[in-house]
Each structure stands twice: as C-alpha cells, then as structure tokens.
Amino acid sequence: MSYEARRFMRLMVFFDLPTLTREDKRAYTLFRRFLIQDGYDMLQWSVYGRITNGAADLETHLKRLTENLPEDGSVRCLQISEKQYAQMRLLVGLQKPQEKKVNAKQLLLL
C-alpha cells in the first residue's frame, strides 16, 4: 500500500486529573504510564498524542484508552487527520526532539 493510499490519523488526549491524595497521584501515574506504553508522545503538560494507521487502528487505541481511564478527573480526546496535525502552528517555544524525528512519511509499518 502506498503512502498516499494510507489514511494516517492522530489521536490527541487532553487530561486534567486530581493529585490531592495518594490514590489520586497513583491514578495519575498509572494513566500517564499507560499513555507512554501505548505509544503516545507528550506534546505539552497533560496533552499526549499518537499516530494511527487509519480509522480502524484509531478505534483500537480509543478502546484501549477507554479501558484505562482513571475514575476521577477530566479526559478528552480528539481525532484528527495527519494533514490537519501537520498544519498545527507552534506559536511560542520549540518543537520537542520526538516531534522532529517522527512524522507519517517516516513510519515503517510491517
């Protein structure tokens, strides 16, 4: 399948979790670890994103995300195309090293 025939998508996760008690901090840590282990990259504090290979793959990761949600707090997700993601503008600051290294054209899918 050629690059043009693929429909890469991005799944963005935004969250605001309480960290007042020991249990809250543990839930925050477990959720953050899940995101990292599932291939999400931190874009900003409490903003994570990952690339997926089409809508079916996106649904798989959305299901995994739903299964690992903490009990309290606010977690939102946004599904966007790779083309929309590439049009994002960085207004202040610098790109993170991971953002510079990986984009849809550089992926190797087996």
Q: Which amino acid is at 71?
A: E
Helix segments in the chain, DSSP class H = 22-37, 55-67, 82-86, 97-101
Residue with tokens 């990986």: 102
**pLDDT on residue 40:** 97
Q: Give 63-107 pLDDT, tens digit per residue.
A: 999 999 999 999 999 999 999 998 988 898 888 777 765 555 555
Domains assigned to the chain: 8-106 (3.30.70.240)
* Predicted TM-score of the model (pTM): 0.81
Query: Using an 8 Å Cβ cutoff, are 50 and 11 in contact?
Result: yes
Q: Is the pLDDT at 18 greater than 50, yes or no?
A: yes
Q: How many residues are recorded in the chain? A: 110
Give 10's pLDDT tier (boundaries 50, 70, 90): very high
What is the rounded average pLDDT of the residues 44-62? 95
